[in-house]
Amino acid sequence: MNIGIIGSRGIPNQHGGFEQFAEFVAPALVERGHQVSVYNSSLHPFREPFWKNVQRIIKYDPEDKLGGFGQFIYDYNCIIDSRKRRFDVILQLGYTSSSIWSFLYPKKSALVTNMDGLEWMRSKYSPSVRKFLKRAERWAVVSSYDFIADSKGIQTYLLEKYQKESRFIAYGANLFTDPDPSSLQKFSLGENAYDLLIARMEPENNLEMILTAHQAAGHGRPLLLIGNYSNSFGSYLKTKYENEKTVFMGAVYDLVLLNNLRYFSQYYFHGHSVGGTNPSLLEAMASNALIVAHDNVFNRSILKEDAFYFKETADISTILQKKVAKNDYLDFLKHNTEKIINDYSWSHITDQLENFLTEVHGRFQKNPRS
């Protein structure tokens, strides 16, 4: 098949979940004999036309000049370019800024949309933007040939809200099996002597709740926050909460370092409350992390009973007050490792994606408008 992947800022990953998904599955699909192209923002620092034998189609992105509105122009440029290609299938990662151009997608390609999370629920957006995102979601549903849901919660939502079937295909992770305690030395950290949080600095990730509880706990372990804090909410958090026990490390893209930090942490906090399966959660599971997660359907569908859960500050405080050794919860760690091996390895995710896109392509050839 000739597959186009659209909707990310490009590969290799320098941004987030969709970029990470493309970074892993695109080269794997090429290895299996498919022709794969990934659209890339002109702002991406990597400039080569190919990466791991995946074609990178670089299109103009004015987001640095126009802010969020620039995403609409970038998406338009990508979609217009896709009309020149002979893609059998276009895999659209998300729909937030591309949906207004959905009528421009080539009619001879099967458009499969990964619907991501419930974008209109994100508290970072104004009421008018959230209203637009609700409409964008509907436009994406109407214009797409088929759908991927990256969590069971999103799959149920699409069926109940739009009566649309979707294929559950989550993100993946590779099991981390080579921990190196020397990686902690440059941060003057000891094994299981710090807590960790990796997230975008957005309100719906419950960062302030976690920070408030952690600073009040008084147990002595520092909390490391990894994520770009250059936005307004990140700057606010850094100004209000940074001290010797709350360390804002900024964005880190070194996966080996991140995995080591996860592996040797005492608690790994996951406050995400909106969206589907989060890649950083799977990577924490794959890195032997003892997870404290926000209690919602998305997180519970992945972690099940193998984590601590919180809904409010008091819940986090109760967890932190307990004298817990990581070895006391080896069952949590073992079960989460087994989930990665059996359900969320990148090879398994690629199998699922390849099978689904092949099925869609065959169906589309017989009945383009089903």
Instruction: Let me know whether 197 and 150 are in one domain.
Output: no
Instruction: Let me know whether 17 and 124 are in one domain.
Output: yes
Instruction: Let me know whether 137 and 227 are in one domain.
Output: no
Identify the CA nearest to 42 among candidates 3, 81, 4: 81
Instruction: Let me know whether 126 and 220 are in one domain.
Output: no
* Cα 330 versus chain centre, distance: 26
Instruction: Let me know whether 272 and 187 are in one domain.
Output: yes
| Amino acid 26: pLDDT | 98
Report pTM: 0.84
Identify the CA nearest to 190 among candidates 155, 233, 221, 228: 221
User: What's the longest Cα–Cα distance across the chain?
Assistant: 64
CA distances from 152 to 105, 164, 258, 285, 309 (A): 28, 14, 27, 18, 19
**pLDDT tens sequence for the chain (370 residues):** 999 999 999 999 887 788 989 999 999 999 999 999 999 999 999 999 999 999 999 999 999 999 888 999 999 999 999 999 999 999 999 887 888 899 999 999 999 999 876 665 566 667 777 788 888 888 889 999 999 998 888 898 899 999 999 999 989 999 999 999 999 998 999 999 999 999 989 898 999 999 999 999 978 899 999 999 999 999 999 999 999 899 999 999 888 999 999 999 999 999 998 766 788 899 999 999 999 999 998 899 899 999 999 999 999 999 999 888 999 999 999 999 999 999 999 999 999 999 999 999 999 999 887 5
Instruction: Let me know whether 99 and 37 are in one domain.
Output: yes
Instruction: Let me know whether 190 and 156 are in one domain.
Output: no
Could you give the CA distance from residue 345 to residue 172 in angstroms, rounded to a whole number?
5
Instruction: Let me know whether 223 and 98 are in one domain.
Output: no
Instruction: Let me know whether 198 and 300 are in one domain.
Output: yes
Kindly state the tokens that stand for 294: 């926000």
Q: Which domain holds residue 99?
A: 2-172+345-366
Q: Which residues contact 160 (CB under 8 A, 6 or more apart)?
A: none
Instruction: Let me know whether 129 and 80 are in one domain.
Output: yes
Domain count, the chain: 2
Instruction: State the CATH number of the domain containing residue 164.
Output: 3.40.50.2000
DSSP lists the bridge partners of residue 285 as none
| Amino acid 315: pLDDT | 97
Instruction: Let me know whether 259 and 362 are in one domain.
Output: no
Could you give the CA distance from residue 292 to residue 336 in angstroms, rounded to a whole number?
13
| Amino acid 218: pLDDT | 79
Could you give the CA distance from residue 66 to residue 269 in angstroms, rounded to a whole number?
34
Kindly state the tokens that stand for 299: 């997180």
Q: Are 280 and 196 in contact (CB under 8 A)?
A: no
Instruction: Let me know whether 138 and 269 are in one domain.
Output: no
| Amino acid 219: pLDDT | 80
